[in-house]
Structure 1
């Protein structure tokens, strides 16, 4: 009988996936197993995703990043989306979420899972109308579960399920009001369905059945934040916190069903609120791994939201977030192109690595020390090999080549590294003539 990662961990069993993650993280496998058993670490690994290179997310592990992509009604170039997939894997993204909501979603998803060593996530709610070929109001609660099962069978490693937007959460939302209302796509669709049909959220009402489906394939549930703030004005409000309380209760229920859990979080949020939000999530959701979108720390930078997100993501991960969803320069504007995806990945990788250094993750600082040593020695090829984007670094360097190839065109012969190296080596420094 197939066991989920958390089920095996509770029984004291070390799985092959745990062994792989322990080696990647340079952590004792028994420590890892114990954290998985407690739910503070997850290894999203669908039994049908055979191409997967497993990754751990959570307590004491390196901060992971996720890339969003997929086919939409306005942009459905399948080859371009696969180019984004290849780029994401090349740059070391640990997860890819397929948010396709148009056309041959099943075929695209199956090809993605077959080729991807990264974890694959989806939001089945996005696919419901197309998969079922029904309008939103006509879809039944059981229909929604059928879509989740279809994704699970395909090999998806984690699914975002907005189960916390129940009647209680909606009552709070209506009473307290918001500047930007509901900005979660899946959350808004469920809100509309609930209001049009008069029914409870099907993922909340049939949560046990949902967990049974996820358990069968070992799909991790990523409890979605339908009430995430879509503006700094709405952050940490009653709607967000009411939903988070519900997610904490649902976390324990999923663990009781031996289903791994992540919690999704904001959104837009001012800098001074981030630390407290990380602590509240860990407290209310029993230490479950926290997966955050940003947070974006200002609302006025369309075209540069990969930067606003990286600022918030670095702070969030420093104070407890475990998994960062990238944001591209195209956020709030259009579907990102390949270059946007690259910019988003790099910004998110920088944020994750900066946080790992701040948290003291074992080995995180080693590559920075190697880069600094290469800079001291003015070894440009080594610097490029250590850079997150060595190709771009080399292009910048070579676009304005210096006269002295041991320096760069910023300082030339006045390079501080060059000057200090010469003096420590017992050489004279001449700025007006060529040294031998």
Structure 2
């Protein structure tokens, strides 16, 4: 792996996104492949709830999409992390790509045939979630094998920024697709585009070198916690390590609070229809959070130089909750989009700090399993948030579900940080002395 050092920028360049990791060819290919594939995935991320709401007319059914995705994440996210620590990570990624393709083509077929089954839609989402749950921790765990440790925050920021850029333009394009062709033709177009664009991510994965578990520096002896196979004992080892590492554990808990209580995504189809007359409004709402995160990423050069990372993480999570609550009170589309974008920028900061902390703090032999937990948290949390939002909206209305979640999440984040100040005290220099492989 090429050892690169990021230059120290001056002036406005101190705030520009750090592109240094793109000098590493293997990382550059993965960044490009994942970014293009993510654009297609975002088309499906909008198409599925739009189809579900068209079939049922209920935000509760839209919220159930979150449960259909979360349950596989809970099981296979942890197991996928163990797989990433026990097997060649390149092979794991290729195997999960095949499963994801099958599920996406299933979405295409059911849309073309007009099956109109909410249960089939939930089942296909669940299969996609299985593949994602295994591939995501594996894909994240390889990052310190592709770039040197000092570039991990910059590479994480690039990944998040690309993801959020796709999350901006994907929903906007999806909104245009539905505005031009309606749901009957728009749904199969969106699903088919997703399947086609995913081929670029597969190409990037094929070009990766083999990535078996790193050998123990003590020749002939397994390192403590190194899994021989991806079994229950391996998963328990990873959870035990997390439970005895308060900084990492609190970073996961505070993110769960933010996503479960404040994520308003399941309310977008209802709010777009009731406040703004439907049409392309749903695309704007689905892209707003990601737009803010993308802009935050493009001005993120300062994040890699932070030392009080724990304090900034807490502030970012509180800012997310308050911005979401304010957005729920907005009566104009432009204002709601703007406030959701502010929330997205705060979420970008918290996500980069949390993942950078995890990748640098944890030893390589644990990274896959901890990234499995990370996948359950970052992907499962919003899906539980979908269920919470849909259930509260069914009983009290979409506005109450939206605003109350943001306020409660901000309050709980402050209480957690005060009750357990180890996260507030965490500094970037205070890293584990454990080996990173």
Give the TM-score category using the shorter length: under 0.3
Q: Compute the TM-score of the two structures, normalised by the length of structure 1.
A: 0.25
User: Higher helix share goes to which structure?
Assistant: 2
User: Higher strand share goes to which structure?
Assistant: 1
Larger radius of gyration: 1
Q: Which has the higher contact order (CA 8 A, sep 6+)?
A: 2
